[in-house]
Structure 1
Amino acid sequence: MLGDAELEALDAQLGDFSVSSTKHHDILQAVIQKYGKLLENYRILRSDYEEEKESRERYKKLSRERVHNPFVLVLVDGDGYIFNDDLVRANAEGGSNAAQMLNSCIRECLPNVVRNSDQCRIMVRIYANLAGLSKALSKAKLVGPEKRSLAPFAASFTRSQDLFDFIDADDKKEGADFKIREMFRLFAENSQCKHIFFAGCHDTGYLSLLTPYRGKSDRITLVRTGAFSSEYTSLRLGIVDFPAVFRTFSLPTMPTATNNGTKNVLPLQRSQSPIIDHKSAAANTTRVCKYFQTGSCRFGSTCANAHVIHDVRRAAPPETNILPWGAIGPTMAAQGSPTLWKPPNFVQPLAMDGAQQRNRDNLTDDLPISTPQTEGMIPVNKDGERLDTVIPKPTPEEWSIYNQRVKQQKPCNNFYMRNQCPIPNCTLDHTPLEPEALHVLTCILKGYPCPRKGGCRSADCYNGHICQKNGCYGKGCRLNYYMHSMDPKVTDWVMPASLPGTDDSSEESPTESLEEIMSSVGGAPV
């Protein structure tokens, strides 16, 4: 039998268990209630997420629809950009021909500035004071004496292409300027407008409009004419010539008789025609602007001296063009094709500071090194320019093996660098190449510049994107100054834009002598 003390102890334990059980029950009920609230909140959040997801999908669909009709815009100030004499004289037929020629020239330039250029339509807007322009052309004996004798040309130009318009901006002062400015602002940030060709560089008044887009050559290209203002070169935008479409020289100013019978040459006002004839100016003055010849005149059209396009004292050969900074480059004017060139970012690598000097002297210390983790990826610097991984300098033994192989037959670059040769019945060597000779060939090809420079993202490009020779500053080097002034330090590794074997660019095999090739890559004949 249990005593009284034991019974009291058991009763106390039962009481404690009852209290503990009650607490556990209360806690369990609280947990169940919180869990129920969490489930309810989750259902609400999931509903909101589904709505947001559906809204985002609709937005993506609308965004894709917006870029379904990409186009490029060509803005032309018709008061300063005059079509060639033969086109103007042909009247209505000339307008149709001018539209077709301009369309062909723009289409030829598109692959250089726009991706998927074949999908882009071309929209042309020409704004001009038709009455004033007709008067100026009539005095030049290019059209009839009627007040709006250029109207048939303009109408035919407009009818010939769906998105081509030759628009009369009336004879109000700055009428064409106002229209061009507003059209530029409207389409400059439009996602459907992939590129703008701006033809108004005879007038420095447009500089303020284009200055915010300095250096954005992927967005804007300037069209050059005879009265091209050198101040536009400071914008670092691409520049293109259409010699087969627009006059390379301005219309002459018209002489007016005075009371004493002599003639004075008066400049035409904007309401008549804004065109200045620099050839006539040179004939009436003994002072020629020497700064205009090098593209550094800061006064533009307001300069008191004559701006002569081709000074007889510094004339370039007929087959060359004088670029704004004084360099001479090839032209295709004789074939009627556009000539496209871009400012070289105004880099002067021969005038480097001390830090840059040290970087060139020990360049290989900064260039990236290929690792298994970065295999197949492209190194880029802080400016997004492509770099090349370090390639060790070939040894004399490797040169000897390569020399012996080349004496037998010249190796095929595409076959050894890309594992394929697109040329049927290729006469170059495709037999297995020794590793030493392959190393020398790789080093040689890196001494030839890639035409896409730092913007190349091809997976199997075997040309050079930066000069790897320590102490080289460009003199006598095949790689241009741009490839000697790049930052050699890698900041990122990016995936290539094209897979191996899909790049259609190919370089011709070197044709120089072995001595010249070895000298260019730092080797020596063995």
Structure 2
Amino acid sequence: MSGIQGKLKGLEADWDICNKEDDRKKNLIKNLFAFIKEQENKIEEIESELLDKKTANKAYHKEKNEAKAQIEALQRERDRHLFAAVLIDGDCMPFKDGLVQEGMNGGRKAASLLKQAVEEALKSNAAHRHVVIRVYSNVKGLAKTYKGADVLSEGSTSFDEFIRGFNMSDPMCDYIDSGNGKECADVKIKANFEHYLNDVHCVQIFFGGTADNGYARLLGLHVEDETRCGRITLIEGGIPFARELEEIKDKFRIVNFEDIFRASKLEAPKRNVPPRNSPPPAAASPSPSPSTSVNYASVAETAQRAPVSPAGSTRAVAGSPKFATGSMVPTVLKNARGQRVDPPLKYEKQDYIDLRGRKMCNNFHLLGNCPYGDSCFHEHGKTLSAKQKQALRVFARQSPCKTVLSGVSCDDPDCYSGHQCPYGDRCDFDNCRFTDEMHLEDTTPVKTLTVR
């Protein structure tokens, strides 16, 4: 019996072991299914995220392709309007004599030759589709100069016909009358230059004003910008670069159109005119005319001695030198027609000689302040003496005042430019920088404008 019981206990022990193994298997399977479920959930989350990303990526690529298509459409539209601009100052870069003498046919030839030369220069830049040509000049004055230089005969209409032919040659070629006075063309050229430089459709500007120092500051503003310099081409005709432009020309591309433009400046026959680099005579005060007892000396002396009242009834305008009570009043002299008259300047000839050839800054030395500061192309340095300033004023007056319409209407007491031709009746009229109105017949001041 005891043997049976012992064997039974052994079997029970084996059974317990089997049950425990079954429990371990059940737990293993249970844990395995729990792990699988957990991984399935993670997979579902990942698949959901992936689906969202695929949807977003698809939308992104769709938007990207749409944007690319829009950009390409805009680019094609922009390319349709790309152009090169040609700006010519006709006063300082006149066309060849033969072309002008041919009249209308010469004008057509000039426009065609100029456009062909520009197209040839643009071969390396296939982006442009159009060439826009603008020539500005004082047509009336330039016609006189052509006649005075014996290029055209007196009474000839060839220059008018030349302009007409130029304008009829091509719808994008214009020869434009900028108005009376040398500076009128400069103003037009400068404004159009800045306009085209800021136009994204303009791939290149051909600049034809290289014989005029006045454009040095305009171009000098861009010499440090390689991108802008790359969009500017300087046209060189037969006339050499002006001295100040010679100093910066290497910053730009240069093309030579000497077959189109004159090889030298137009020079009218001289009539005993003093050289331009010699000082105008320091004229004495004129004698009183029969109609009036006033002259330069009396009016100027009265103007210089006019005191400022303590109540401040007379004062300087904003921007002019300050005048304390009891000091001089800023004044402007006028003739009987109300035109501004420049009183004679007393200066030392040696001071004039010493300053000749130097690029002095008029604003700095005559007004005490230069708006261009360190970027100014002209000389600042040590302040000039009072005597040297008088000599500098002689140089300053050789450039006409740029007041709107005419410098004879200028009322600015600080203006140092010329308001009448300094050469008077000895002036080579056809080749003068001053307007017709600035050749005053009456230079006797009869009244003083006190700035209030």
After TM superposition, the score normalised by the length of structure 1 is 0.43
Structure that is richer in helix per residue: 2
State which structure, 1 or 2, has the greater radius of gyration over its C-alpha atoms: 2
Does 1 or 2 have the higher relative contact order (CA < 8 Å, sep 6+)? 2
